[in-house]
Amino acid sequence: MIAFFLNWGHEYIRSLPAGLRQAASIKEQIEKLQKELASIIGTAAPVATALDGGRKQRRISAAAKKKLSQFQKAPWAKIKGAGPSAKSAPKKKFTMSTAAKAAISRAAKARWAKTKAAQKK
């Protein structure tokens, strides 16, 4: 029964187009060479496949990150005109007088007193 499936597999491969047949042939050669290598070394050689990714994730140093960041920011700095000479003088901070603060406070207290009196009725 197993022989039927093994033979059926080979017949199926032979019936495929030439490109797929060549790919199957190459795969068989690779498997044969891996077995041969395993017999020489004594253990099976690990093979990178599409399932395990075949590549490790890259790590980047902090210095390299900083360099990349500066490289990416440089064109924007030119466009925006960033730099010490391009900055305008800071605006004067608005300050409120003590009398104005007291007037606002009195108005707020009166408003709350009116609201609380309306709630009690």
Distance CA 1, CA 105 (A): 97
Q: In sequence order, what DSSP letters do the residues of 8-53 get, joined into one string?
A: HHHHHHHHS-HHHHHHHHHHHHHHHHHHHHHHHHSSPPP---SSS-
Q: What tokens were used for 6?
A: 């093994």
Percent of the chain with pLDDT over 90: 36
Question: One-letter amino acid identity for 119?
Answer: Q
pLDDT for 36-60, tens place per residue? 888 888 765 555 555 555 667 788 8
pLDDT tier at 67, thresholds 50, 70, 90: very high
> What's the pLDDT tens digit per position in 27-36?
999 999 998 8
